A and B are shown apart, each in its own frame.
Chain A
Amino acid sequence: MTRDHDVLEPLVRIPGVRAALLVAEDDGLVVSEASMTDVDTAAIAALSSSLWGKLRKTSVASGHRPPQLLQLRADHGALLVAGLERELLGVAVTGDTGNTGLVRLALLALQRDGVR
């Protein structure tokens, strides 16, 4: 696990988290990351920001406010994305054993407290 940024520390400390990223919402580029070596963080950043953008547009078009958090469950884990301040996204990828409840709390804390 490589760690570039203290802000991601609470996320990567949660059992089962394979990657935690700060992503630029517009560009879909990694701003900061902490991940297992086999995780393609550039791909996750690009695709999750695209997914987030579509979700936000859909939500607004449906007359709702922009989404706070996205949780995508897959066979062997989950992807969680939260909109943060300064057009950043917090992204976490968990494996089978990931505690998604704790990840949600950590992302919402980032959302509330800011990334600095």
Chain B
Amino acid sequence: MSLVNFAAREITCKLVYYGPGRSGKTTNLQYIHDRVPEARRGRMVSLATKTDRTLFFDFLPLDLGAISGFTTRFQLYTVPGQVYYNATRRLVLQGADGVVFVVDSQARRFDDNVESLQNLQENLLDQGVDIRQLPVILQYNKQDLPRDLVLSPAELDDALNFRDVPSFGADALTGRGVFETLKALSSRVLHRLTDSGVSG
């Protein structure tokens, strides 16, 4: 749940990058970390195994500066993608204001994407959150791989994007689509704050 401080006019939002193992969630954060000036971001906290798979979560705080007079901060989290880490995924998802679902566009990983998307829905439901009520963005990552290995954004939209949420083709390693994804989610999350609010 986003935290709004009226006295100090501050907004803090929790954004979670979700998706199957090795779909590029940490790469998204790593790219953002590398691009953003040090004064505007915190240290990237990575709790990873020896083989660089996310064990608990990655965390990157961002300071956006003033938006509508509110000092706005984002907390970016990733979850571990591997199926057996569901307990920790549930913990990280707690209180999320919005989710980027990072899809591995490789055709051979299609089933993993479906399974992870279902898992997201279940974990949200467990916390009493209807996925239809939460800002979600789909990011079709690894679009830079050879065409015969990956499904196109249009194909993935057909197969995964039943709710017609915003979706972006991406190549997180080079940063293509990373910014657009973050921007789209931020905008939806802040819109939601506004839509559900009363004048104050």
Do A's and B's CB atoms come within 8 Å in the complex? no
